[in-house]
A = this chain, B = another copy of it.
Amino acid sequence: MTGIPDLAAVEAMDAADSLRSMRDRFVLPEGLIYLDGNSLGAASPAAYAELEKAAREEWGKDLIRSWNTAGWFDMPVELGDRIGRLIGAAPGQTVVADTTSINIYKALHAAMGLRPDRKVIVAEGGSFPTDLYMAEGVVSTRPGAVLRLEGVDAPTIEELIDDHVAVVLVNHVNYKSGELRDMAALTKRAHEAGALVVWDLCHTAGALPVELDRCDADFAVGCTYKYLNGGPGAPAFIYVAARHLGKAEQPLSGWWGHARPFAFEQGYAGDAGIRRFQCGTQGVLSLRALKGALDIWDDVDMQALRTKSIALTDLFIQLVEAKCAGYGLKLESPRDGARRGSQVSFEHENAYAVMQALIERGVIGDFRAPATVRFGFTPLYIGYRDVWQAVEVLEDILRTGTWKDARFAVKSAVT
């Protein structure tokens, strides 16, 4: 295995890691190698502290008054701006609200409203499915609208973009393969055809630096429970470029999006800013865990994060291909780190059983049907030695064939 780092070399990488101390800001069980932060990020003392304060102090003692005194009502826009810094959005364009699915619905409707003469939504056949399901929902409520899919109606998304297209809905990083799209280039291509773009950032917010404003993005959505570590089912976010605010409309026109929500007016008058992309009352407890998680991000250099992410995933690919050669694994993610998010996927014909065996041995990743094992590398709390150990376990499972005995091998996957 010449050219492959040994354990000493890997430990030297940890010693030189400028983000290494960030791991202390998270709660992770001893002995677990958690390569699933791209499904559910880890908990943190900061999140616990905010949650407890919101529950015991604000809800328990100040009750209804906390909507004012604890700033509950403004939390969605304040947290939105803090996420904005991580995704290259100047203040006033991002709000935390509802779920990714619902924010896709808002963004697609808003985009189509800005292109009233166009009827086509373009999306990726290989998209995370809820994006497509929500696009179907939008199509069902806009007469004449149609949905065209990359991989179904044409081989590439670029080929689908013409002057009938109102909006392109696209994942910045593919949930399965980890492939990273070129945001600037695709946005430019869409704009040249007169179309708008909605970027789904679920697998990039907190995974790598995103530059929405610089790329001239129109809309973006994303979740906060993966790389941002906001907690299980933490609320999502939506970004609307400043140039569209005041013009873009969305039909989930609830009272939190009203220009004067507490005037209790009979007719809807949407807020001129990003608040219009809110709808109803938000879950304060979930928002507060997210607030705690975002406090950690104030100390993170996003370029250092990206550098480490590529180094971690490069190392994983290198070690797996060297140590697990001949066991039927095939790299599904881009080999070029610049074209990859913070995850690595391999195909294996017994992917489900292999992943179950890994989980039983304390290496947590994901199975994705039909035949993918997926590993997420959160740079804030995964180190190079974790990568080394994960590969040691994987090699052992494949070499000894113990995946055939995996306890849950016949149970269907539910996450």
Listed in ascending order, the chain A residues whose CB lies under 8 Å from chain B are 27, 29, 32, 34, 36, 39-40, 42-43, 47-48, 51-52, 54-56, 58-61, 63-68, 72-73, 98-102, 105, 109, 125, 128-130, 132-134, 136-138, 140-143, 149, 152, 223, 225, 231-236, 249, 251-258, 262-268, 279-287, 289, 359, 364, 366, 368-369, 412-415
Contact = CB atoms under 8 A, between A and B. Distances in A.
A254 B133 contact: yes
Nearest 4 A/B pairs, CB to CB: A99-B280, A101-B280, A101-B254, A232-B284
A233 B283 contact: yes
Contact of A29 (B61, B101, B109, B143): B61
Given A68-B414, A72-B233, A233-B281, 17 more contacts: A48-B60, A51-B55, A51-B285, A98-B102, A125-B266, A129-B255, A129-B258, A129-B266, A132-B266, A133-B257, A137-B251, A223-B281, A231-B284, A232-B283, A234-B285, A285-B285, A285-B286
A351 to B, nearest CB: 14
A142 to B, nearest CB: 7
A141 B140 CA distance: 9
A39 B64 contact: yes
Contacts of A66: 232
A119 B61 CA distance: 47
A251 B232 CA distance: 25
